[in-house]
């Protein structure tokens, strides 16, 4: 059977109304080796098929042609065209051909990383990421590609709008997700936040990466843990324990690494810290963490001063200097002033070089409280829904009924009596 020409294929695309069928036939209309050549070529009249096809109406077809062109590296589409595509593609159709969307994203990432002006391909990716998933809290395979692209090109701000919405949904219909997608997304997200000095968010992202379910720890998780440790030292001065469900060997690995000893010595033992940095500087540099280490070191005196505020009411600059091991009074004064300016401590310096610490005034506005309350209520409602969903899911019910004998709880009617009866009635 001779392979159909592109004209035939384009007609099929324009006439199709069942997209998964179309996708199937596009995948199988010709042997592998010539299919891409056909799809990437021009129409018989020399026209570019992309000008014939409408992006919104024929998303599946356009995606196949784009993929073929990227693969054969002929007739590469312009960025302007790609941007229009990303803004206008039809979401349900794209989901049918999700692997091609991911492929497109990969290519956009490559473009972004190989040009001097990555802004435009990144914007394309941003459109893709924000339009493709049903809600912004869904994770898709495009997410890690986009964020990694932003991080490698140094355009962290672009990623912010996506990163600010936490991922809580996973749906495998949106393309084949691999555990790496989740790890890379949160790792790269953490890097972006850390680069923007948004420590709290960075901490959360690294922590998610570290504590992701793992039978064996992945290398990226250990890298994330190293960065998490440093970020915590910078933002709070101590490390916090990772969640209990974190893989144990990760915790062990970190504790025995130079990062563990660095965290242990932080912030008092300035001498030890410097020694660690000297002896393991190459390792930190190799991990790409020298910048974070330096920032942590730089902030160590601030941490110590902050700690002093809870112990002392007044203290002379010289004594502060003694405590943080800075011998130059002027340097201490500059540091304290900077901290006061940045609202890190609440203090005044009097003429005789005495620093008087005071408590930061507590500030809670009614609107703030109301907002927090509303958030809490939303969460409660969300969990009620989730709880119900799990309660009626097949897996849960099979497990619950299987273990009923050993369970020995009260009969089911009693458990589900009360508020939940309504839900069961609906089911019936």
Which 296-335 positions form the footprint of another protein (CB under 8 A)? 307, 310-316, 319
Could you give the 3-state DSSP secondary structure of residue 212?
coil
CB nearer to another protein: pick between 59 and 212: 212
Binding range to another protein, per CB under 8 A, among 12-20, 95-103, 275-283, 368-376? 368-376
Binders of another protein in range 109-128 (CB under 8 A): none
CB nearer to another protein: pick between 6 and 231: 231
Binders of another protein in range 382-421 (CB under 8 A): 383, 386
Q: Which of 288, 381, 387, 389 binds another protein (CB under 8 A)?
A: 288
Residues forming a β-bridge with 310:
none
Q: Which of 74, 91, 374, 376 binds another protein (CB under 8 A)?
A: 376
CB nearer to another protein: pick between 44 and 310: 310
Q: Does 340 bind another protein (CB under 8 A)?
A: no
Beta carbon of residue 41, minimum distance to another protein (angstroms, whole number): 34
- Residue showing tokens 């990437």: 40
Q: How far apart are CA 405 and CA 275, in angstroms?
A: 62
Q: Does 181 bind another protein (CB under 8 A)?
A: yes
CB nearer to another protein: pick between 12 and 319: 319
Beta carbon of residue 236, minimum distance to another protein (angstroms, whole number): 13
Q: How far apart are CA 334 and CA 338, in angstroms?
A: 6
Binding range to another protein, per CB under 8 A, among 93-101, 181-189, 274-282, 412-420? 181-189
User: How long, in residues, is the chain?
Assistant: 428
Residue 173 DSSP label = G
CB nearer to another protein: pick between 219 and 428: 219
Q: How far apart are CA 362 and CA 368, in angstroms?
A: 13
Give the list of residues 6+ apart from residue 256 with CB closer than 8 angstroms, or none: none
Beta carbon of residue 421, minimum distance to another protein (angstroms, whole number): 26
- Residue 26: C-alpha distances to residues 50, 72, 89, 427 (Å): 16, 17, 18, 41
Q: How far apart are CA 65 and CA 108, in angstroms?
A: 15
Number of residues that bind another protein (CB under 8 A): 73
Contact predicate 150/192, CB 8 Å: yes
Q: Does 42 bind another protein (CB under 8 A)?
A: no
Q: Which of 166, 271, 409, 422 binds another protein (CB under 8 A)?
A: 166
Q: Which of 50, 97, 98, 207 binds another protein (CB under 8 A)?
A: 207
Q: Does 105 bind another protein (CB under 8 A)?
A: no
**Beta strand pairing call for 354-357 and 347-349:** antiparallel
CB atoms near residue 135 (< 10 Å): 9
Beta carbon of residue 312, minimum distance to another protein (angstroms, whole number): 5
Q: Does 357 bind another protein (CB under 8 A)?
A: yes
Torsion 163-165-166-167 (CA) sign:
negative
Beta carbon of residue 396, minimum distance to another protein (angstroms, whole number): 11
Binding range to another protein, per CB under 8 A, among 6-14, 79-87, 88-96, 360-368? 360-368
Contact predicate 189/230, CB 8 Å: no
Best CA proximity match to 291, nearest among 245, 343, 234: 234
Q: Does 344 bind another protein (CB under 8 A)?
A: no
Buried/exposed code over 342-368 (b: 16+ C-beta within 10 A; e: otherwise): eebbebeeeeeeebebeeeeeeeeeee
Residue 30 DSSP label = S
CB nearer to another protein: pick between 12 and 353: 353
CB nearer to another protein: pick between 187 and 266: 187
Q: What are phi and psi of 304, to 5 degrees?
A: -65, -40
Q: Does 245 bind another protein (CB under 8 A)?
A: yes
Contact predicate 85/105, CB 8 Å: no
Binding range to another protein, per CB under 8 A, among 121-129, 338-346, 357-365, 397-405? 357-365
Q: Does 240 bind another protein (CB under 8 A)?
A: no
């Amino acid at each position: 059977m001779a392979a159909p020409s592109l004209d035939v294929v384009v007609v099929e695309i324009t006439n199709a109304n069942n997209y998964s069928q179309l996708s199937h036939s596009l995948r199988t209309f010709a042997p592998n080796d010539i299919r891409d050549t056909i799809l990437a070529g021009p129409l018989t009249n020399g026209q570019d098929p992309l000008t014939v096809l409408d992006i919104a109406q024929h998303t599946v077809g356009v995606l196949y042609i784009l993929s073929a062109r990227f693969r054969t590296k002929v007739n590469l589409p312009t960025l302007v065209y790609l941007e229009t595509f990303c803004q206008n593609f039809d979401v349900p159709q794209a989901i049918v051909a999700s692997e091609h969307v991911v492929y497109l994203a990969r290519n956009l990432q490559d473009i972004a990383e190989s040009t001097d002006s990555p802004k435009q391909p990144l914007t394309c990716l941003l459109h893709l990421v924000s339009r493709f998933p049903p809600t912004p809290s869904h994770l898709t395979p495009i997410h890690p590609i986009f964020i990694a692209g932003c991080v490698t090109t140094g355009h962290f701000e672009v990623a912010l709008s996506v990163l600010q919405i936490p991922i809580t949904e996973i749906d495998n219909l949106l393309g084949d997700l691999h555990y790496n997608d989740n790890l890379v997304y949160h790792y790269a997200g953490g890097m972006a936040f850390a680069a923007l000095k948004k420590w709290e968010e960075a901490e959360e992202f690294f922590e998610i990466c570290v504590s992701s379910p793992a039978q064996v720890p992945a290398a990226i998780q250990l890298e994330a843990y190293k960065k998490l440790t440093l970020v915590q030292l910078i933002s709070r001065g101590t490390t916090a324990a990772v969640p209990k469900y974190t893989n144990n060997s990760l915790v062990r690995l970190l504790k025995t690494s130079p990062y563990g000893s660095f965290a242990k010595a932080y912030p008092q033992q300035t001498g030890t810290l410097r020694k660690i940095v000297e002896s393991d500087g190459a390792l930190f540099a190799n991990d790409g963490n020298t910048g974070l280490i330096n920032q942590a070191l730089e902030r160590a005196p601030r941490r110590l001063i902050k700690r002093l505020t809870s112990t002392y009411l007044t203290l002379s600059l010289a004594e502060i200097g003694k405590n943080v091991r800075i011998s130059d009074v002027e340097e201490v004064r500059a540091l304290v002033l900077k901290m006061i300016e940045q609202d890190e401590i609440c203090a005044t310096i009097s003429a005789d070089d005495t620093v008087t610490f005071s408590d930061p005034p507590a500030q809670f506005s009614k609107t703030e409280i109301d907002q927090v309350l509303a958030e809490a209520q939303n969460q409660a409602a969300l969990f009620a829904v989730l709880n119900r969903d799990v309660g009626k899911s097949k897996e849960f019910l099979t497990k619950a009924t299987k273990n009923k004998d050993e369970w020995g709880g009260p009969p089911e009617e009693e458990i589900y009596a009360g508020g939940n009866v309504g839900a069961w009635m609906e089911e019936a």
